[in-house]
């Protein structure tokens, strides 16, 4: 069984082992695969594992040996799942492997914005505290989260984990979700519309999937519906927000801050207006990349392959 990993570096830059997958076949791991390299790398594969290189209908037609596609992520929009189904090829993803890590990043961004620990650490490396006449100083607003309203858009695994962290901080949690109030329990308040959530919450964190209905969910209109001084967090998908509109709102100071681990295009354009917008806190899509989460992804990938080879495929997204 010939197993090809098209872009293994992101998952495993060298600190993990491919052993669990290697024992199932003849494994070749490419660190990256460009469009020009795709057919050379994928030729003869029985099993293809991919994160970012697209597997389109056209590409599937030129891979006659292919029997299985594993997506090294939860989202699977890089694969034409319907074309794969027509070829009798199961497409399997890796669900819920990074829930805790992504929820942690959401709050890392929130705390960066409200407490500015990195800002003060850097200032003090330059001697500012040592030169200060008083025992302490602060030159940014410092915000206590307890008692603030946290709005969560999308209450799947990661949204729920983020809600639990917010509750532990003493925040009042509101959610815009398809789940019923009974499913949420008494601690989380279900909002009837996105507009009511945006109008009342001090922090809004996005955890919904990217669909045609949610693309640019946050735009000039919805930004204008937000409570003045709101903090917006996006650890879900970059295209959930219109970055030009967010940058505009930051420059106008109607949006207090934007913390994001994802961008509309990745790697992002050097011309993105967010680079120059005040209070834009941008990290390079690393919420999923804790060693623990990547090891979990690797383990689930191996489990998926075992299940497929045993004739009982799991985590299929194109049944």
Same domain, 43 and 147: no
What CA–CA distances, in Å, run from 202 to 35, 146, 174, 205?
43, 11, 11, 10
User: How much is the pLDDT for 168?
Assistant: 98
CATH of the domain at 27: 3.40.50.720
Say how far apart CA 168 and CA 173 lie, in whole Å.
10
Same domain, 105 and 232: yes
Q: Is residue 314 in a domain?
A: no
Q: Is residue 188 in a domain?
A: yes
What CA–CA distances, in Å, run from 274 to 115, 206, 213, 222, 223?
21, 18, 24, 18, 15
Same domain, 151 and 165: yes
Q: Where are the beta strands (DSSP E) in the chain?
A: 2-5, 26-29, 47-50, 68-71, 91-92, 149-153, 172-176, 188-190, 203-206, 230-234, 255-260, 280-282
Q: Is residue 316 in a domain?
A: no
Same domain, 243 and 279: yes
Q: Is residue 124 in a domain?
A: yes
CB atoms closer than 10 angstroms to residue 14: 6
User: How much is the pLDDT for 199?
Assistant: 97
Q: Is residue 272 in a domain?
A: yes
User: How much is the pLDDT for 59?
Assistant: 98
Query: Helices 99-115 and 291-309 meet at what angle, rounded to 10?
Result: 160
Same domain, 81 and 173: no
Same domain, 178 and 143: yes
Give me the residues of the chain with pLDDT under 50, please.
none
Same domain, 156 and 179: yes
Same domain, 297 and 268: no
For the segment 59-110, what is each residue's pLDDT rounded down to a tens digit? 999 999 999 999 999 999 999 999 999 999 999 999 999 999 999 999 999 9
Q: Is residue 90 in a domain?
A: yes
Angle at 268 between CA 266 and CA 269, to 5 degrees: 140
User: How much is the pLDDT for 314?
Assistant: 97
Q: Is residue 315 in a domain?
A: no
* Domain carrying residue 273: 99-288
CB atoms closer than 10 angstroms to residue 205: 28
Same domain, 296 and 284: no
For the segment 304-319, what is each residue's pLDDT rounded down to a tens digit? 999 999 999 999 999 9
What is the C-alpha R_g of the chain?
A: 22
Same domain, 276 and 221: yes
Backbone phi, psi, residue 96, to 5°: 60, 25
Query: How many domains does one find in the chain?
Result: 2
The β-bridge relationship of strands 149-153 and 91-92 is unpaired
Same domain, 28 and 9: yes
Same domain, 52 and 151: no
Say how far apart CA 202 and CA 228 lie, in whole Å.
8
Q: Is residue 281 in a domain?
A: yes
Residues that are catalytic: 237, 266, 285
DSSP character string of 258-309? EEES--SSSSPPTT-GGGTSTTEEE--S-GGGSHHHHHHHHHHHHHHHHHHH
User: How much is the pLDDT for 145?
Assistant: 98
């Amino acid at each position: 069984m010939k197993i090809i990993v098209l872009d293994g570096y992101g998952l495993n830059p060298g600190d993990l082992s491919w052993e669990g997958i290697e024992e199932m076949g003849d494994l070749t791991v490419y660190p990256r695969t460009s469009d020009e390299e795709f057919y050379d790398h994928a030729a003869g594969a029985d099993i293809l594992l991919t994160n970012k290189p697209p597997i389109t209908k056209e590409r599937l037609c030129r891979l006659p040996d292919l029997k299985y596609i594993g997506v090294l992520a939860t989202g699977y929009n890089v694969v034409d799942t319907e074309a794969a189904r027509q070829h009798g090829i199961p497409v399997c993803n890796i669900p819920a492997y990074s829930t805790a890590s992504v929820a942690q990043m959401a709050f890392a961004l929130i705390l960066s914005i409200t407490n500015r620990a990195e800002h003060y650490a850097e200032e003090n490396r330059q001697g500012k505290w040592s030169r200060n006449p008083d025992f302490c100083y602060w030159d940014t607003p410092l915000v206590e989260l307890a008692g603030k309203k946290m709005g969560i858009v999308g209450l799947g695994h990661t949204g729920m984990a983020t809600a639990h962290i917010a509750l532990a901080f003493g925040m009042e949690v509101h959610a815009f979700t398809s789940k019923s109030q009974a499913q949420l329990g008494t601690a989380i308040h279900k909002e009837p519309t996105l507009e009511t959530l945006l109008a009342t919450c001090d922090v809004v964190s996005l955890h919904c999937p990217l669909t045609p209905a949610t693309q640019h969910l946050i735009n000039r209109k919805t930004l204008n519906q937000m409570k003045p001084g709101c903090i917006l967090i996006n650890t879900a998908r970059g295209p959930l927000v219109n970055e030009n509109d967010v940058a505009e709102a930051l420059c106008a100071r109607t949006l207090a801050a934007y913390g994001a681990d994802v961008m509309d295009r990745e790697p992002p354009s050097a011309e993105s207006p967010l680079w120059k917008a005040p209070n834009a806190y941008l990290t390079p899509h690393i919420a999923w990349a804790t060693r623990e989460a990547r090891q979990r992804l690797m383990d689930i990938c191996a489990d998926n392959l075992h299940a497929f080879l045993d004739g009982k495929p799991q985590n299929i997204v194109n049944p």
